[in-house]
Amino acid sequence: MREIKDAGQKPPKKPLIFYYLIALLVLFLLNALVFPSLMSPKVVEVSYNEFLNMIDEGQVKQVALEESSGQLVFLADVSEEGAETAADSGQYGIFKTGIWPDDGQRLLEQLRSDPDIQFTAEIPTQSNPLLSFIMTWILPVFFFILIGELLSRWMMKRMNKQMGGGFGNAMSFGKSGAKVYVEETETGVTFADVAGQEEAKESLKELVDFLHEPEKYAKIGAKLPKGALLVGPPGTGKTLLAKAVAGEAKVPFFSISGSEFVEMFVGMGAAKVRDLFKQANEKAPCIVFIDEIDAIGKKRDAGGLSGNDEREQTLNQLLAEMDGFDARRGVVMLAATNRPESLDSALLRPGRFDRRIPVELPDLAGRIAILKVHAKDVKLGDDVNWDLIARATAGASGAELANIVNEAALRAVRQGRNVVMQEDLEESVETVIAGAQRKNAVVSTSEKKIVSYHEIGHALVAAMQSHSAPVTKITIVPRTSGALGYTMQVDEGEKMLMSRTEIYNKIATLTGGRSAEELIFGKENMTTGASNDIEQATKLARAMITRYGMSDEFDMTAMETVQNQYLGGDTSLTCAPETASKVDAMVTQIIKEAHEKAMKILKENEGKLHELAAYLLEKETITGEEFMKILERSEGQTRE
Ligand code: ADP
Ligand code: MG
Ligand code: ZN
């Protein structure tokens, strides 16, 4: 515990006795002020004369002689209506009257003989002593304990969050060993909330089924995988799927993030792994889910400095535990990562995470389904066309689609509407792709003119080539991403493969913007507006040669490898420097050719370029249909 204290981690608690004293004080106050009036019935003392009056008015119903005080206790109906509602005992008041001045015996006899007045042995003015003891002492104490317990749990949670699980846990080290704070969640998420991803769901349903009926599998001699690893790009629903499994399985579900094992002190991570599996074994059948497992499952380096001892120990412990538990008892391991290539191969071998469940970016049908799931609680206009939206969002993840639906709803609210229209969705697609509109950005007219020609340049080159996606929208409204305008092209169908011609045409389209600037304003007036086009075109051209085997010279040689398939897909060069310089030359060549092709197309259609650019400058945003209408008007250009 020394290091912890030295690190300035003083226990934040005041002495416990302090709290107990406060509790006791409150208890006394409550007993003195509040409870008496609640607990025992209120007794009113009246004078003897008043008592006689009440008898005369027929209000007195029951009388008893209280032996301890020698007083007369009586129950009287003091309601306005008198006898009619007298059945309701709430209408009675309890009264006491003192020693009567005249002969008591005579009064008592008189009362006895009155048929309206009952004479009883006792009218309780004090409630049951046991009950009152419970109410005034036991119950409040119980309450305090409950509140205290809840409070301390809440504080623990908060502390854990604030300190990233690190120090909060470290403080309990030594007392009770490392603790894993697992959520045994009731997520409320079901498979119905996960759209698309049918294969992944099938795979996971089998696991759930196994947990429900292990005998079915045992009978036939089938062994289920011990663990399943969900892999895929960020935002595709891996965590969501795991939560859905928890929601469906109806067995305890231990969820922990890989980073929670990463500890400051050597050995703590391993202790946590041990603890986790101990708990899981006790609760079997159950599911253990480790999110972002790459945080502990990274490849152990061979040689060199012995890197991160702590991490290695944690991983080793995890591997050992996974071997140790018996899958037949019904502990199923789930893990998720978007960096499968960085995982230690020992984690992936049979008997560990041997089932790999890919959770890929959704296809067209998947995107439609995801949009619909997230629009479930959103009020929609009649004109909403999910198909169009889904086609415009090729490559978007589930998380992005969810965001698009929400942005659209927010936009509808901003515009004072109570339903979401197609235009909201289209605008939010663009917001997600290109950033929000910058309504008050000042762009000078001359710059706007350049941007118009630039964008029409892209659109014209695209339209004049076969095998390129149709233009759906052109705009010169600036975006927060810095783009001064853009041309949107949406493929008609779902594209899995791209042909060489298609890539080539795409590069030509990308050079179309700059080409238009050159053609109209001259080479010396070209602008910086094409930087993003240039980057994209270069990437494509390079990939053609180094990864897609589309050059004659290098044929099907791989010269670049993708480092992480799911995160941006950065590549690293794997060829000799001489080869690299050859590749560079070839990339330049491809781009030059594409640029020339774009120039040629634009020169041939210069009239249309002027006409369309003027139209765009005036309208700022035009649709694909408007574009095609002007393009096909008169002249009748031939398509290549
Ligand atoms: P990750 O794969 O990075 O773990 P998450 O599971 O955290 O992604 O997904 C983030 C959010 O994106 C989810 O909470 C959900 O709203 C949305 N989402 C992602 N994929 C889907 C899907 N297939 N169906 C419905 N919603 C999805
Ligand atoms: Mg996740
Ligand atoms: Zn451009």
Burial bucket for residue 264 (CB in 10 Å: 0-12, 13-18, 19+): middle
Label residue 37 by pLDDT band (50, 70, 90). low
Nearest CA, atom 15, ligand 1: 399
111: phi then psi, degrees, rounded to nearest 5: -65, -40
- DSSP summary character for residue 87: T
Q: What percent of the chain has pLDDT over 90?
A: 32
Answer yes or no: is the C-beta of 477 below 6 A from any ligand 1 atom: no
Cis peptide before 11 (omega within 30 of 0): no
Per residue in 381-398, pLDDT (tens digit) is: 999 999 989 988 888 899
- CA nearest 234: which of 185, 291, 309, 192? 291
Alpha carbon distance, N-terminus to C-terminus of the chain: 78
Is residue 626 among the annotated active site residues?
no
- CA nearest 336: which of 295, 305, 372? 295
pLDDT at position 506: 93
CA 194 to ligand 1: nearest atom: 24
- DSSP summary character for residue 125: -
Residue type, position 537, single letter:
A
CA 195 to ligand 1: nearest atom: 24
Answer yes or no: is the C-beta of 242 below 6 A from any ligand 1 atom: no
Q: How far is the CA of 534 from the centre of ligand 3 (A)?
A: 8
For the whole model, what pTM was predicted? 0.67
Answer yes or no: is the C-beta of 233 below 6 A from any ligand 1 atom: no
Q: Is-contact 422 383, C-beta < 8 A?
A: yes
Write down the residue that tokens 């004293």 correspond to. 21
Answer yes or no: is the C-beta of 255 below 6 A from any ligand 1 atom: no
Answer yes or no: is the C-beta of 194 below 6 A from any ligand 1 atom: yes
CA angle 569, 571, 573 (to 5 degrees): 170
Q: How far is the CA of 345 from the centre of ligand 1 (A)?
A: 27
Label residue 517 by pLDDT band (50, 70, 90). very high
State the Cα–Cα distance between residues 54 and 59, nearest whole angstrom.
5
Q: How far is the CA of 308 from the centre of ligand 2 (A)?
A: 24
- Mean pLDDT along residues 253-271: 80
When mean pLDDT is compared over 465-479, 485-499, 509-523, the highest value belongs to 509-523
Answer yes or no: is the C-beta of 195 below 6 A from any ligand 1 atom: yes
Q: Which residues are 94's β-sheet partners?
A: 43, 75
Q: How far is the CA of 452 from the centre of ligand 3 (A)?
A: 10
CA 399 to ligand 1: nearest atom: 12
Per residue in 60-102, pLDDT (tens digit) is: 777 777 777 767 777 777 665 444 433 344 446 677 776 666 6
Label residue 176 by pLDDT band (50, 70, 90). very low
pLDDT at position 398: 93
Ligand nearest to the CA of 516: 3
Q: Is the pLDDT of residue 597 over 80?
A: yes
Q: How far is the CA of 125 from the centre of ligand 3 (A)?
A: 92
Nearest CA, atom 1, ligand 1: 235
- Chain-centroid distance, C-alpha 418: 25
pLDDT at position 636: 47
State the Cα–Cα distance between residues 267 and 269, nearest whole angstrom.
6
Return the beta strands (E) in 314-446 as ranges.
331-337, 355-358
pLDDT at position 14: 58
- Mean pLDDT along residues 124-138: 71
